[in-house]
């Protein structure tokens, strides 16, 4: 077993710990709020385990924060040239379970969160309804095909299609094809449907 800690995994763990501390929640309290085991939260906070997309969705819902906030924490809005985010330096996170990759495109000072997602062939990523309760979101398929389950409604989306999420419901992002799907998630901060 390697003692090398991935800096992004450590930063995510630090953010989760800081949010838990800010609320004065114990590990058990966060486990109860999120449905994520106490042991898993402890490993994530220590940088020993990278959370999956499902776990991040549950933790973000418990904290009433977006997934992007947990992935790209504590950056200050830039001015001038600092506002430019080069493709090679943008924060990228990989789900160790599905291979899902998320790249944050907008910074914390921008009024909307914009992320690019690459969903591998055959991947399926569920999020609880609570992950969508405090935001308005739009999904825009850039390449490939996305089967998006919004509660009981299934949207078959192709390149160029968009869907604006309605009232909070459990959602599943699924790629039933044999090629990668690339889509953008646009989230308006602080507004619910």
Of the candidates 12, 113, 125, 131, the one whose C-alpha atom is nearest the C-alpha of residue 71 is 12
Burial 84-101 (b: 16+ CB within 10 A, else e): ebeeeeebebebeebebb
Please check whether residue 150 is in contact with residue 166, taking contact to mean a CB–CB distance below 8 angstroms.
Answer: yes
Which residue has 């055959």 as its token pair?
A: 122
pLDDT in tens, the chain (193 residues): 445 557 778 888 998 999 999 999 999 999 999 999 999 999 999 988 888 888 888 898 888 887 777 776 554 444 455 677 777 776 788 888 899 999 888 877 778 889 999 999 999 999 888 777 777 899 999 999 999 999 999 999 999 999 999 888 889 999 999 999 999 999 886 554 4
Q: From CA 183, how far away is CA 63, in angstroms rounded?
A: 25
Q: Give the whole-angstrom CA distance, residue 68 versus residue 9.
A: 14
- The CATH label, of 1.10.760.10, 1.10.260.40, 3.40.50.10860, 3.40.718.10, for the domain at 7-71 is 1.10.260.40
**Where do we find the tokens 């609880």?**
128
- The CATH homologous superfamily for domain 90-188 is Jelly Rolls (2.60.120.10)
| Ranges of each domain in the chain | 7-71, 90-188
């Amino acid at each position: 077993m390697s003692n090398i800690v991935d800096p992004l995994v450590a930063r995510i763990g630090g953010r989760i710990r800081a949010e838990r501390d800010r609320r004065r929640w114990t590990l058990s309290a966060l486990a109860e709020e999120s449905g994520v085991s106490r042991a898993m939260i402890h490993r994530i906070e220590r940088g020993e385990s990278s959370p999956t997309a499902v776990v991040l969705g549950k933790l973000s819902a418990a904290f009433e924060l977006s997934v992007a906030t947990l992935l790209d924490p504590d950056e200050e809005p830039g001015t001038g040239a600092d506002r430019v985010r080069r493709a090679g330096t943008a924060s990228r996170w990989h789900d160790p379970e599905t291979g899902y990759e998320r790249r944050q495109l907008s910074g914390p000072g921008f009024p909307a969160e914009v992320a690019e997602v690459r969903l591998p062939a055959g991947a399926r990523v569920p999020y609880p309804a609570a992950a969508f309760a405090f935001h308005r979101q739009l999904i825009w398929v850039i390449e490939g095909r996305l089967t998006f389950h919004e509660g009981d409604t299934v949207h078959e989306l192709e390149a160029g299609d968009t869907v604006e999420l309605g009232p909070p419901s459990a959602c599943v992002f699924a790629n039933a094809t044999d090629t990668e799907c690339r889509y953008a998630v646009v989230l308006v901060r602080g507004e619910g449907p």
